Amino acid sequence: MKSCVAAFCVIFAMSPSLRGQAPSALEADPSGWVDLLADKSLKSWTRLSIPPSAPLAETSPWKFSDAATLVCDGDKAGHEWLRLDREFANFILHAEWSFTRVAGEPRYNSGIFVRNNADATIWHQAQTGSSSGGFLFGDTLVNGAKVRVNLRDQVKEQRVRPAGEWNTFEIRAEGRKISLWVNGSVACELTECEISRGYIGLEAEGYRIEFRNVRIKELP
Rounded mean pLDDT of 46-52?
A: 97
Alpha carbon 111 to chain centroid, angstroms: 5
- Domain range spanning residue 116? 2-14+22-218
Residues 158-208 have pLDDT tens digits of 999 999 999 999 999 999 999 999 999 999 999 899 999 999 999 999 999
Nearest to 137 by CA among 124, 146, 154, 128: 124
- Give residue-wise pLDDT tens across range 74-87: 876 789 999 999 99
Average pLDDT over residues 24-51: 97
Q: Give pLDDT, residue 56.
A: 94
Residue 154: predicted pLDDT: 85
Helix (H, G, I), strand (E, B) or coil at 144: coil
Report the share of the chain in percent with pLDDT over 70.
Answer: 90
Averaged pLDDT score across all residues of the chain:
91
Confidence of residue 2 (pLDDT cuts 50, 70, 90): very low
Structural domain tally of the chain?
Answer: 1
Helix, strand, coil fractions of the chain, as percent rounded to 5: 10, 45, 50
Q: What is the CATH number of the domain that holds 162?
A: 2.60.120.560
pTM attached to this predicted model: 0.90
